[in-house]
Amino acid sequence: MGKGQSGITNTIRVLRFNAGEMTQAALAEKVGVTRQTVVAIEQGRYSPSLEVAFRIAAAFEVPLEQVFQWAPADGQD
Amino acid sequence: MTHREMVSWIQLVAALLVAVWLGYDLLNGGLVGATVAGVAGKLLWVIGAVIVVGIVSTIVMSIAVSAVRREAFREAPADERDLAIDARSLRLGGIVTSALAGLALVPLAMGVDPVFAVYGLFGAPMIGGTVSSAAQLYYYRVG
């Protein structure tokens, strides 16, 4: 599961696996971003815009919260 | 490596080559008897050469990588992450360029040979561009 410093985690790797090992390139094409951006999102190095987040969820036909989760870091509400 | 990263590397290498040439020129009497017009003309040729070398290098590298990968190596349309990285690195480069260009006025204010100011005005965007390219490569790695 990819997790960045923002406390946002995602399950894109699992969702790709469940979608018949969808490649990062295929997901990138569906979402309309580059493969490098999908890699960065999946690894938690980049937090996408709300629109791209919804596009990713739509690509897997799941609700947004099944793709992205947010856990507040210590000291954050 | 993406096409964008390759272009950044080419810009970085070109800037370093210019810095080496500039150092070599200064150490070998580039300032002796130099006039403002003479130095400005010389540096304009350098800027032209950097642009030509950048274009030719990008074309040659694209052809070489395409031959190795056996598929066209072309620039993909920029997405939101590319635009965000461009904005952050250009901002950083712009700050450096502005600061150094401002410093180029110091020799003029101190009454020193204005040739130094010409070198300063040339160096400001070169260093700013280098910082921008380096920042772009960094941001592509970390974010």
Q: Provide the greatest CA pair distance for chain B.
A: 59
Interface ipTM > 0.85 = no
Q: Which residues of A touch B140 (CB under 8 A)?
A: 36
Sign of torsion, CA A47 A52 A53 A57? negative
Q: Which of B2, B80, B142 sits opposite A36 (nearest CB)?
A: B2
Give kind and range of the element (H or E) at residue A46: none
Give per-residue pLDDT as tens, B99-131. Answer: 999 998 888 899 888 888 898 899 999 999 999
Which 3 state secondary structure label does DSSP give B95?
A: helix
B140 touches A: beta carbon within 8 Å:
yes
CATH superfamily of A2-70: lambda repressor-like DNA-binding domains (1.10.260.40)
Query: Domain boundaries in chain B?
Result: 3-142
Q: Whats the size of chain A, residue-wise?
A: 77
Q: Do residues A19 and A71 touch, judged by C-beta distance below 8 A? A: no
Query: Which neighbouring-strand residues pair with A8?
Result: A70
Give per-residue pLDDT as tens, A14-70. Answer: 999 999 999 999 999 999 999 999 999 999 999 999 999 999 999 999 999 999 998
Q: Which residues of B touch A46 (CB under 8 A)?
A: 81, 143
Q: Which residues of B touch A52 (CB under 8 A)?
A: 80
